[in-house]
Amino acid sequence: MLETEICRLLGIKYPVIQGGMAWVATAKLAAAVSKAGGLGIIGAGNAPPEIVREEIRKTKAFTDRPFGVNVYYLSPYVEEIIQVIIEEKVPVVTTGAGNPGKHIPQLKKVGTKVIPVVSSALLARRLQRSGADAFIAEGMECGGHVGDITTMVLISQVVDAVGVPVIAAGGIYGGKGLVASLALGASGVQLGTRFICAAECTAHENYKQAIINAKDRDTVLTGYHGHYVRVLKNRLTKEYESLVQRGAPAEELERLGMGRLRVAAVDGDVAMGSVMAGQVAGLVKKIQPAAEIIEEIMSEAKEILQKTQFKI
Ligand code: TUI
């Protein structure tokens, strides 16, 4: 039950994919999610290729199940990372912040499925020509770099725009979000924020606790020129806001934001680090093993589907 097209495409048991979060989504989390029947993803971020290879090998040592690597197209190492992925025959690649089109033929040759992340139907339509196997449509509720369309509005439009399965992301916490996404035509869901609070996630405890403490209005969008990043409000976002109000130049804003994700996720400085998290942070109340998160999502979804009997 609840085996969808994306499960068949990727060879996974449940239609639950873990977001490929830079500095946060390491082998330990990816392997735990894949072991539990979802699709775990290693977030390559700006990491050099040898680190990504190490994470891939660690994941393979932990589990035989399919897993993926998220390639961040603004990384200086994109070409080398793609080569590592090809050499290691990684089953799935998700991509962010750019067009993976030119790499798709090489990746397909070794059997890697390519799933670009998009934040608009326009972008999905453009990227579809290059032969993507599926899409992840990220609504503006999600954490990190976001577009400006909500998940509710985005999903149906991406589903209409492309002829391949769509995975919904942004604002998804549990079975309710999964069922809603399926109703909108999606084939599965991607969760980032809730998986940061997985027991196996190597993000700093302070980062996890900041998410657990957050309420529904505790995230804010920072950014300029149409590039927005959703983070938890803290001293950094206040300083950022006052710079914006003083009319500081873009370079100064950029300097303040540089490297701040690592400061939060690795060093645990949640006052002056960039604590990227989605609006769903308000729903995350505890640290749980990844397998328990997935089981909870699936049992809640099944319960809703069984109970929902509309008279027509
Ligand atoms: O990438 C994200 N979300 C992110 S990235 C990030 S921060 C980071 N910091 C250090 C290292 C690595 C990452 C935090 N959150 N989401 C995926 C996404 N991709 N959203 C939108 C897009 C996108 C944008 C433009 C995809 C394709 C695209 O193509 C433009 C083109 O060239 O056609």
Residues 266, 25: contact at Cβ < 8 Å? no
Question: Looking at the predicted structure, is the pLDDT value of residue 312 above 90?
Answer: no
User: 70 and 41 in one domain?
Assistant: yes
Q: Range of 226's domain?
A: 205-280
Residue nearest (by alpha carbon) to ligand 1 atom 10: 45
**Of 271, 283, 266, 215, the residue nearest 21 (C-alpha):** 266
* Residue 99 alpha carbon to ligand 1 centre in Å: 10
User: 93 and 186 in one domain?
Assistant: yes
Q: With a 6 A CB cut-off, is 101 part of the ligand 1 pocket?
A: no
User: 140 and 100 in one domain?
Assistant: yes
Largest distance between two CA atoms of the chain: 58
Confidence bin at 225 (pLDDT 50/70/90) = confident
Q: What's the N-to-C CA distance of the chain in angstroms?
A: 24
Check residue 310 and give its pLDDT: 63
Confidence bin at 311 (pLDDT 50/70/90) = low
Residue nearest (by alpha carbon) to ligand 1 atom 29: 98
Which of 14-28, 127-141, 148-162, 219-233 is the least confident region?
219-233
User: 132 and 16 in one domain?
Assistant: yes
Both tokens assigned to 264:
């939060």
Q: Is 310 among the domain residues?
A: no
In the predicted model, what is the mean pLDDT of the chain? Answer: 96
Q: Which ligand 1 atom sits nearest the alpha carbon of residue 43?
A: 12
Q: Is 265 among the domain residues?
A: yes
User: 292 and 276 in one domain?
Assistant: no
Rounded Cα distance, 134 and 117, in Å: 9
User: 154 and 131 in one domain?
Assistant: yes
Check residue 256 and give its pLDDT: 87
For 259-285, how does the pLDDT look when each residue is reduced to its tens digit (9 = 90+)?
999 999 999 999 999 999 999 999 999
Q: With a 6 A CB cut-off, is 266 part of the ligand 1 pocket?
A: no
Provide the 3-class DSSP secondary structure of residue 39: strand
Where are the extended beta strands (E) located within the chain? 16-18, 40-43, 67-72, 92-96, 113-118, 135-138, 144-146, 166-169, 188-191, 219-224, 227-232
User: 153 and 22 in one domain?
Assistant: yes
Check residue 1 and give its pLDDT: 66
CATH of the domain at 139: 3.20.20.70
Q: Is 261 among the domain residues?
A: yes
**One-letter amino acid identity for 212?**
I
* Residue 303 alpha carbon to ligand 1 centre in Å: 35
Q: With a 6 A CB cut-off, is 117 part of the ligand 1 pocket?
A: yes
Rounded Cα distance, 16 and 191, in Å: 7
Q: With a 6 A CB cut-off, is 98 part of the ligand 1 pocket?
A: yes
For 52-86, how does the pLDDT look when each residue is reduced to its tens digit (9 = 90+)?
999 999 999 999 999 999 999 999 999 999 999 99
Q: Is 254 exposed, middle or buried (0-12, 13-18, 19+ CB in 10 A)?
A: exposed
Q: With a 6 A CB cut-off, is 124 part of the ligand 1 pocket?
A: no
For 167-217, how does the pLDDT look when each residue is reduced to its tens digit (9 = 90+)?
999 999 999 999 999 999 999 999 999 999 999 999 999 999 999 999 999
Split into its structural domains, the chain has a count of: 2
Q: With a 6 A CB cut-off, is 223 part of the ligand 1 pocket?
A: no
Question: Looking at the predicted structure, is the pLDDT value of residue 144 above 80?
Answer: yes
Both tokens assigned to 61:
């040592």
Q: Please count the other Cβ atoms lying within 10 Å of the Cβ belonging to residue 51.
A: 17
Check residue 305 and give its pLDDT: 92
Rounded Cα distance, 127 and 215, in Å: 36
* Residue 139 alpha carbon to ligand 1 centre in Å: 13
User: 248 and 160 in one domain?
Assistant: no
User: 57 and 78 in one domain?
Assistant: yes
Q: Is 312 among the domain residues?
A: no
Check residue 308 and give its pLDDT: 79
Check residue 223 and give its pLDDT: 84
Q: Is 157 among the domain residues?
A: yes
Q: Is 269 among the domain residues?
A: yes
pTM for this model (two decimals): 0.97
Residue nearest (by alpha carbon) to ligand 1 atom 28: 98
Q: Is 99 among the domain residues?
A: yes
For 81-135, how does the pLDDT look when each residue is reduced to its tens digit (9 = 90+)?
999 999 999 999 999 999 999 999 999 999 999 999 999 999 999 999 999 999 9
Average of pLDDT values for 221-245?
92
Q: Distances in Å between the alpha carbon of 272 and those of 43, 189, 208?
A: 22, 31, 15
User: 161 and 247 in one domain?
Assistant: no
Question: Looking at the predicted structure, is the pLDDT value of residue 219 above 90?
Answer: yes
For ligand 1, mutation pick of 104, 119, 151, 195 (most atoms within 8 Å of CB): 119
Q: Which residue has the tokens 């400006």?
A: 148
**One-letter amino acid identity for 262?**
R
User: 175 and 77 in one domain?
Assistant: yes
User: 185 and 216 in one domain?
Assistant: no
